[in-house]
Chains A and B, each alone.
Chain A
Amino acid sequence: MTPALNPDCRRLLASVSAYLDGDLDATTCESIEVHCSSCAACADLIAGLRETVGLCRQAASLPIPEAVRRRAQASVRRLLDTE
């Protein structure tokens, strides 16, 4: 059974996405950082979420496969040629 979170951890869990997205004010951010300096579980949660978001954003920068792009361009040319 998962142990119950203490109130500070619960508050952090609820606001961690807003924290990562820069949606929180400076005071709240500071309180999260202070809490993480003494709570390994919450520090690990934030590190894990940063890694998760980073992995998604790496995928964002990948161009689609060249073969697919070439076929897409060929489809566009065929369509425009019908005009």
Chain B
Amino acid sequence: MEQLLTRAQEVAFRFSLLVCGHPEDAEDVMQDALLKTYQHVQRIDHPDAFRTWLYTTVRNACLMKRRRRAGEPSHFVSLEHGRPGERTTAAVDVADHTRSVDQRLIDEWVDKRLREALDKLPPEYRMIVVMREIEGLSTREVAAVTGYSEANVKTRLHRARLMLRRHLKEL
């Protein structure tokens, strides 16, 4: 259980930084992934379905975070608001507010050229290239997360690779 929950946060960290490109959101997205995975964990019966669920959840958390950005503190997430019959507990705040994901950590983590080239891709292409090439999801899994057809995922991946190569050459 501990390993699974930590893994959910690692996925959230990488997705926040590489796809959404907002390090200031990473901490909140990680916490969201942690709490949602904790609530969902009882229903996991297939690892592949869990991966798709997790990436969809993290993607939605990133999108929601951007929409809520106008000043609302969202660290505090109640576990009381689960579905009827789900295991629940008192509201907890599990984030460590004393530190946030800062730029230094990111700079030390992923190749700067790659990050800059990824940043230049349109978001829907960036998301596909990160999920396929970095996160190692299959075309079918990416299609399930994004709602695109598998053929569309392949076409977008092809275009994204060409754009990424061009941006890397320019840097």
Contact = CB atoms under 8 A, between A and B. Distances in A.
Q: Of B6, B10, B114, which is in contact with the most chain A CB atoms at under 10 Å from its CB?
A: B6
B34 A76 contact: yes
Given A60-B135, A76-B9, A65 B34 contact: no
A5 interface: no
B57 interface: no
18 contacts: A45-B165, A48-B168, A48-B169, A51-B168, A53-B133, A56-B133, A59-B110, A59-B114, A60-B133, A60-B136, A65-B105, A72-B13, A73-B6, A75-B30, A75-B96, A76-B2, A80-B1, A82-B92
B89 A83 contact: yes
B80 to A, nearest CB: 12
Interface of B: 1-2, 5-6, 9-10, 13-14, 18, 30-31, 34-35, 38, 89-90, 92, 94-96, 99, 101, 105, 108-111, 113-114, 129-130, 133-136, 154, 157-158, 161-162, 164-165, 168-169
A55 B13 contact: no
Contact of A52 (B5, B110, B130, B164): B164
B17 to A, nearest CB: 9
Interface of B is mostly: helix
Taking residues whose C-beta sits less than 8 angstroms from the other chain, chain A's interface range is: 20 to 34
B92 A78 contact: yes
Contacts of B105: 65, 67-68
